[in-house]
Amino acid sequence: MSRYFKAKIISNLPLNSKNNLFTIKPLEPVIDPEPGQFYMIEPVNSYDPLLKRPFSFFRRTPEGIQFLYTIKGRGTSLMSKLEKGQVISLIGPLGNGYPKPEDGYIPLLVAGGIGIASLSPLAEALTKKTYVFYGARSKDELLILDELKELTDKLFICTDDGSMGEKGMVVDILNDFLTFHFSLLTSYVIYACGPQPMLEALSKIALEKKIKGYVSVEENMACGVGACQGCVVKVGSQKKKHSKLRTPNFELVFKRVCKEGPVFPIEEIVW
């Protein structure tokens, strides 16, 4: 079984004007992905764009592996034109994935926008009570709501423009929830994936309230397998304030998102 494999496109279904559900069928035996892991996918077989792009594992179906992606730049817009039956090459599953919550902890899953793609398989894998906080710009950018309702005990929805759920940012909704349930703070564990400003705001709150948790972060990638050192993020340096929370002797100042990540303990990342 190799993590570099070819796969046939089963479908590339637009869910709205910006997001597609992408289903592929590997043409050889592959390794089972864990929630939070990702794949490097070639948007087209060409030199321009040259590099593969990272996408979170979204779901395993009897047919194959699914991804949810947002059409963002050149690569993803070319990807949206891929058709059923075409063969592409992928590398994966890669990265560490989300650690399982320890006993007694209640998982709070916080997704901003397409971040839901990475957290949805976690919601599916968790057998315990979970809460999901999911925010997007507007109603039509909220994806897979029906599935999420089935997977979670409580789903908090919000949109920037108020077109569905509460009006506001997902981190604010989470903050309100935490303020209201302050007596339980130490029993929560946060799992978050979304745009960088959202993760940064969320980390602040988590550190203030001393809640444990994990964030899945993004950085440009070339190899995806830990060879090029291109995808690093800055982790715990001496200067940072919340030094008590960190284990001593942080040797590395930079860690690779593709290898040591993409999931990091909240207190590790230096924003």
Partner 1 sequence: MDLSVNIGHLKLKNPVMTASGTFGYGEEYSEFIDLNMLGAVVVKGISLKPMEGNPPPRICETPCGMLNAIGLQNVGLKKFLKEKLPYLRRFDIKVIVNILGNNTNEYIRLSKSLDDTGVDGIELNVSCPNVKKGGIMFGTDKKALARLISKVRQSVQRAVLITKLSPNVSSIQEFSKVAEDSGSDAVSLINTIQGMAIDIETRKPKLANITGGLSGPAIKPIAIRMVWEASKAVKIPIIGMGGIMNAEDAIEFMLAGATAVAVGTANFTNPRATIEIIEGIEAYIRKKGMNSPQEITKGLGAT
Ligand X SMILES: Cc1cc2nc3c(=O)[nH]c(=O)nc-3n(C[C@H](O)[C@H](O)[C@H](O)COP(=O)(O)OP(=O)(O)OC[C@H]3O[C@@H](n4cnc5c(N)ncnc54)[C@H](O)[C@@H]3O)c2cc1C
Ligand Y SMILES: Cc1cc2nc3c(=O)[nH]c(=O)nc-3n(C[C@H](O)[C@H](O)[C@H](O)COP(=O)(O)O)c2cc1C
Site membership for partner 1, residue 26 (CB under 8 A): no
Site membership for ligand Y, residue 49 (CB under 6 A): no
CA atoms of 193 and 113, how far apart (whole Å): 9
Q: Which is nearer to ligand X, 92 or 240 (CB)?
A: 92
Rounded to 5 degrees, φ, ψ at 104 are 90, -10
Q: By CB under 8 A, which span of 137-145, 146-154, 205-213, 252-260 interacts with partner 1? A: 252-260
Instruction: Identify the residue among 13, 31, 228, 252 touching ligand Y (CB under 6 A).
Output: 228
Least Cβ distance, residue 256 to ligand FES (angstroms): 4
Question: Which listed option, partner 1, ligand X, ligand Y, none, makes contact with residue 253 (CB within 5 to 8 Å by class)?
Answer: partner 1
Helix (H) or strand (E) holding 156: strand 154-159
Least Cβ distance, residue 223 to partner 1 (angstroms): 4
Site membership for ligand Y, residue 220 (CB under 6 A): no
Site membership for ligand FES, residue 231 (CB under 6 A): yes
Q: Which is nearer to ligand X, 126 or 221 (CB)?
A: 221
Backbone conformation region of residue 168, classed left if phi is above 0, alpha if psi is from -120 to 50, else beta: left
Question: Length of the chain in residues, anyone?
Answer: 271
CA atoms of 151 and 128, how far apart (whole Å): 10
Question: Which listed option, ligand X, ligand Y, ligand FES, none, makes contact with residue 76 (CB within 5 to 8 Å by class)?
Answer: ligand X
| Distance set, CA 10 to CA 13, 82, 84, 196, 266 (Å) | 10, 10, 5, 32, 37
Instruction: Identify the residue among 105, 226, 245, 271 touching ligand FES (CB under 6 A).
Output: 226
Site membership for partner 1, residue 253 (CB under 8 A): yes
Nearest residue to 190 via CA among 97, 101, 259, 124: 101
Instruction: Identify the residue among 49, 226, 230, 265 touching ligand Y (CB under 6 A).
Output: 230
Token pair listed for 188: 């929560």
| Distance set, CA 156 to CA 135, 152, 177 (Å) | 8, 10, 10
Binding site for ligand Y (CB under 6 A): 228, 230
